[in-house]
């Protein structure tokens, strides 16, 4: 893997409240002087909250398609959701439209005339709001309008048949994913049926005037043995489905991409324990096909030049030769592309849209590329939702999509570090940042004193793709990481020695069903917290020797819910469940000493941290503390409306300051509980 470089520009954020900031030992000018400060005092107890400004700012994207000379790009985790029009010849953004619902756009498709662009959004909740839109490209100043909704919460892919009918697939609802059709003539969106009751997510669709292809499976939520790759064909004449999955793809988690190439259907799989595959099926005889093993675990965004098909994997661009039925990696001479969300062909060159926020024009013959930063081209950079955070040694870090924002606590300057994937959680040890990097990126490292870019420090099995909790074992001098497997179910426990580089991975240390979502440590023992993909229990706690790699003991608190977070203070292990339960286990006696319902403060994915001899917790809506003697819960900061993408986080630095999110801004909390 090439090491991503620090982004070409730093983002500065301004603030005020100079006098109050000076009183707190902060700079009296610049961003760290605080845009907002609030304080509350009650007796000997004081709490001061400082607003450090937007946590992560850049133009973040999740989809891309070329129509004529313009690349249309859908935003990711920005508010409001938008599509920008990037004009390739001039290198400028020439138009933008805002959508009324959703948080990201993964699906874009244009009709055969190039007049209409269709977009499908990802949403936070099931409901009746529209998730399908159409933008009239004849006049870019017009706004995209809602045209209806599919019954699935999220739209993952769209395809427009030559006759103008639009087909959509997705998931995220309690029901199994269906194939949906929008008829522009009637304005109706209807379900054509659920082809596969084992699938949990549909990610690909392609349509001709007579047939529609539906690609599904599951790569989210611990898929396990259910919901493997499936490809179905729908006959518009008979209104029936038939399973046409190539046998070579059946072991993969899902079908990832579909595209019509002349009289052929291109199919790719998303892989887990094996390499992904690319298949070419004859539209006249779907049983006649060829399959090639690809490179890596991802194959998406097909385009073609001559008899060569180009597509993205997790490290760059691949080439599929139809003549030889083989896949090779294209050698690129330029910066890392990171996660690629669009590959198109124009004038015998490739256009790759990078999750780092740029479009690269690539000569496939030489691999040379010219890069245009979308922010510099005119795309508006606004605050993202945030993954993990960490603080220490004068900096606070916030992870976004393809970026980690480094906040200087002395000057307020913010520097964006390009990093592949997403930093789901992180910790700082001796001034060095270590992250658990999604998806299948292992542990990354950044030392601001070295002058070196952030880079991968350790890799782990690709199926163990989602590291969710990171902590430091001071006794054994080890990084400890709890990870879940989205595709295989279960999870793993990682250890990493930053000094020697030694690493270990223990797969399914709880059982083969519970995902690992939390880890804490005391006296050289790791405590692992598990849970099912759903909210329900058992939520087992396992005490684990991270050096010997063996279980010491286990306990089930009996909360009937999966574990969301763990933290240790003194002899007690504190746990937070996804249903809003809090419990305390006395470690020496291995007994449950306290249990309570705090669902009014926390529900879903929360986090805990030990700070100043007190346990603090955070949810999407509140920051709270637990009294170390009575275990009574008190609110520290209410109505946070935290701008989190995949679960809330809270961290602390060596001075005892807490850091979390209020809205899409990073805040610092100085809390002094009454003793």
Q: Is the pLDDT of residue 274 over 50?
A: yes
Q: Is the pLDDT of residue 223 over 70?
A: no
pLDDT band, residue 416 (cuts 50/70/90): very high
Q: Is the pLDDT of residue 493 over 60?
A: yes
pLDDT of 41 reads 55
Tell me what the pLDDT averaged over the chain comes to: 92
Q: Is the pLDDT of residue 247 over 80?
A: yes
What pairs with residue 24 in β-bridges?
A: none
pLDDT band, residue 15 (cuts 50/70/90): very low
pLDDT of 205 reads 99
Q: Is the pLDDT of residue 466 over 80?
A: yes
Q: Is the pLDDT of residue 191 over 90?
A: yes
Element (H, E) at 374: helix 374-377
pLDDT of 20 reads 32
Q: Is the pLDDT of residue 546 over 90?
A: yes
Helices (H), ranges, 365-404 = 374-377
Tokens of 141: 């100043």
Most distant CA pair in the chain: distance in Å? Answer: 80
Does the N-terminal peptide bond of residue 538 adopt cis geometry, omega within 30 degrees of 0? yes
pLDDT band, residue 45 (cuts 50/70/90): confident
pLDDT band, residue 27 (cuts 50/70/90): very low
* Residue 558 vs residue 26, higher pLDDT: 558
Q: Is the pLDDT of residue 19 over 70?
A: no
pLDDT band, residue 46 (cuts 50/70/90): confident
- Over the stretch 627-636, which tens digit does the pLDDT of each residue have? 999 999 999 9
Q: Give the residue-averaged pLDDT of 216-241.
A: 82
CB 389, CB 646: distance < 8 Å: no
d(CA 637, CA 615): 14
- Over the stretch 619-666, which tens digit does the pLDDT of each residue have? 999 999 999 999 999 999 999 999 999 899 999 999 999 999 999 999
Q: Is the pLDDT of residue 474 over 60?
A: yes
Residue 298 Ramachandran class (φ > 0 left, ψ -120 to 50 alpha, else beta): beta
Helices (H), ranges, 168-231 = none
**DSSP letter for each residue of 91-132:** TEEEEEEE-SS-SEEEEEEE-TTSSEEEEEEE-SS-SSS--E
Residue 79 phi, psi dihedral angles, 5° rounding: -130, 115
Q: Give the residue-averaged pLDDT of 373-399.
A: 97
Q: Which of 272, 277, 279 is nearest to 295 (CA)?
A: 277
Q: Could you give the 3-state DSSP secondary structure of residue 547? A: coil
Q: Is the pLDDT of residue 14 over 80?
A: no
Element (H, E) at 19: helix 18-23
Distance separating the N- and C-terminal Cα atoms of the chain: 51
d(CA 123, CA 131): 8
- Over the stretch 281-290, which tens digit does the pLDDT of each residue have? 999 999 999 9
What pairs with residue 296 in β-bridges?
A: none
Least confidently predicted of 41-50, 165-174, 431-440, 530-539: 41-50
Q: Could you give the 3-state DSSP secondary structure of residue 419? A: strand
d(CA 353, CA 267): 21
Residue 167 Ramachandran class (φ > 0 left, ψ -120 to 50 alpha, else beta): beta
pLDDT band, residue 596 (cuts 50/70/90): very high
d(CA 540, CA 562): 8
């Amino acid at each position: 893997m090439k090491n991503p470089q620090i982004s070409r520009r730093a983002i500065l954020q301004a603030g005020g409240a100079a006098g109050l900031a000076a009183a707190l030992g902060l700079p009296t000018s610049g961003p760290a002087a605080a845009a907002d400060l609030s304080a509350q005092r009650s007796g000997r107890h004081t709490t001061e909250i400082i607003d450090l400004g937007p946590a992560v700012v850049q133009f973040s994207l999740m989809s891309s398609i070329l129509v004529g000379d313009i690349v249309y790009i859908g935003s990711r985790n920005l508010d409001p959701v938008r599509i920008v029009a990037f004009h390739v010849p001039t290198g400028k953004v020439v138009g933008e439209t805002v959508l009324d619902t959703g948080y990201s756009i993964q699906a874009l498709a244009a009709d055969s005339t190039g007049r209409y662009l269709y977009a499908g959004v990802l949403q936070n909740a099931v409901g009746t709001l529209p998730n399908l839109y159409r933008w009239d490209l004849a006049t870019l100043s017009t706004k995209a309008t809602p045209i209806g909704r599919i019954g699935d919460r999220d739209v993952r892919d769209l395809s427009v048949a030559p006759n103008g009918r639009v087909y959509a697939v997705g998931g995220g609802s309690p029901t199994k994913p269906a194939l949906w059709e929008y008829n522009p003539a009637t304005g109706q969106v209807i379900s054509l049926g659920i082809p596969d009751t084992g699938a949990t997510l549909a990610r690909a669709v392609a349509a001709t005037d007579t047939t529609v292809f539906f690609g599904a499976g599951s790569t989210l939520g611990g898929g396990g043995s259910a919901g493997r790759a499936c490809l179905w064909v729908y006959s518009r004449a008979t209104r029936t489905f038939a399973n046409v999955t190539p046998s070579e793809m059946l072991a993969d988690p899902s079908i990832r991409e579909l595209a019509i190439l002349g009289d052929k259907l291109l199919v790719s799989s998303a892989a887990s324990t094996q390499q992904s595959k690319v298949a070419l099926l004859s539209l006249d005889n779907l049983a006649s096909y060829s399959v090639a093993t690809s490179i890596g675990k991802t194959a998406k965004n097909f385009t073609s030049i001559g008899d060569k098909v180009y597509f993205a994997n997790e490290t760059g661009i691949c080439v599929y030769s139809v003549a030889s039925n083989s896949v090779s990696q294209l050698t690129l001479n330029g910066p890392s592309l990171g996660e690629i969300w669009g590959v198109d062909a124009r004038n015998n060159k490739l256009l790759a849209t990078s999750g780092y926020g740029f479009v690269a024009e690539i000569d496939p013959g030489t691999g040379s590329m010219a890069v245009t930063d979308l922010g510099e081209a005119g795309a508006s950079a606004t605050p993202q939702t945030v993954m993990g955070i960490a603080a220490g040694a004068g900096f606070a870090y916030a992870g976004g999509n393809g970026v980690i924002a480094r906040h200087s606590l002395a000057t307020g300057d913010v520097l964006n570090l390009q990093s592949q994937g997403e930093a789901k959680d992180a910790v700082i040890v001796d001034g060095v940042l270590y992250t658990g990097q999604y998806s299948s990126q292992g542990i990354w490292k950044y030392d601001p004193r070295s002058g070196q870019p952030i880079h991968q420090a350790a890799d782990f099995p690709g199926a163990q793709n989602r590291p969710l909790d990171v902590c430091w074992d001071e006794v054994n001098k080890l990084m400890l990481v709890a990870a879940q497997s989205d595709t295989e179910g279960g999870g793993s426990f990682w250890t990493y020695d930053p000094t020697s580089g030694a690493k270990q991975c223990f797969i399914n240390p709880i059982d083969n069903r519970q995902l690992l979502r939390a880890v804490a440590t005391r006296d050289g023992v790791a405590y692992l917290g598990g849970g099912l993909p759903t909210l329900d229990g058992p939520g087992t706690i396992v005490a684990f020797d991270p050096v010997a790699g063996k279980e010491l003991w286990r306990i089930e608190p009996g909360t009937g819910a999966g574990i969301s977070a763990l933290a240790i203070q003194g002899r007690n292990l504190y746990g937070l469940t996804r249903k809003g339960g809090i419990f305390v286990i006395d470690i020496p006696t291995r007994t449950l000493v306290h249990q309570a319902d705090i669902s009014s403060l926390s529900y879903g994915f929360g986090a805990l941290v030990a700070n100043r001899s007190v346990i603090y917790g955070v949810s999407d809506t509140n920051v709270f503390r637990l009294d170390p003697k009575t275990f009574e819960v008190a609110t520290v900061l209410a109505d946070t409306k935290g701008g989190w993408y995949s679960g809330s986080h809270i961290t602390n630095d060596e001075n005892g300051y807490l850091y979390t999110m209020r809205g899409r801004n990073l805040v610092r909390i100085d809390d002094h509980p009454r003793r």
